[in-house]
Amino acid sequence: MNSPEREKYEASEDAHLMARVGKGDEEAFATLVEKYQDPVVGTVAKMLGSPTEAEDIAQQVFVRVWKSAKRYKPKAKFTTYLFTITRNLVFNETRRKRNKLQVSIEEQGDDWGKQYADDRTSSPSEESLRAELIQKVDAAIAKLPKKQRMSIVLRRYEDMPYEDIADVLGTSISAVKSHLFRARAFLKEELKEYLER
């Protein structure tokens, strides 16, 4: 099955699962959660810079999916629907955090290093460099404006097509490309000392 056929099949499978969830089918809901939990948690973690918060927000995303399942109409891919809910909750959390004291980038970096610990054996200096790079990349992503951050996270980490990102953000494909261009330019400048090593 080629890629467009696979996407079409998965989209119809997801729509079928949502129809079952709308009728209260907990098994169908568990299937959707299992299928999409990691991408949602990963996206939220990259957006907020906190793996701990990511679990909480992801849980809220799936609670909303469950509660709104009866009203769900498959006008777009389920992933677009899912990541639109994710975007809304992340943006709400960003606004809420702006009104509170921000957690320092150093503390966020410590959490990220633990979350993405590599199982492969490597020297302490390689580990140190890798942890430092992860921290710097995450800190740089955290500095991006929220639409640029969401665009780069969905494109880079979730491999989402431009069309779907545009649907999630409620904008045009050209706006998404512009967000990505500006985000990449910023990240390249922010991380140039690491890219030149």
The model's pLDDT over 88-113, given as tens digits with 9 standing for 90+, comes to: 999 888 777 665 544 443 344 444 34
The topology under which CATH files domain 144-197 is Arc Repressor Mutant, subunit A (1.10.10)
The Cα 165–Cα 38 span in angstroms is 18
The Cα 66–Cα 36 span in angstroms is 14
Quote the pTM value.
0.68
Which two three-digit tokens encode residue 191? 């991380």
The Cα 166–Cα 160 span in angstroms is 10
Instruction: Taking residues 8-35, report their average pLDDT.
Output: 90
Domain map of the chain by residue range?
1-102, 144-197
The model's pLDDT over 139-173, given as tens digits with 9 standing for 90+, comes to: 889 899 999 999 999 998 888 999 999 999 999 99
The Cα 138–Cα 46 span in angstroms is 7
The Cα 145–Cα 135 span in angstroms is 18
Q: Does the 1-102 domain belong in CATH 1.10.1740.10?
A: yes
The model's pLDDT over 121-146, given as tens digits with 9 standing for 90+, comes to: 556 777 777 778 778 888 889 899 99
First and final C-alpha spacing in the chain: 41
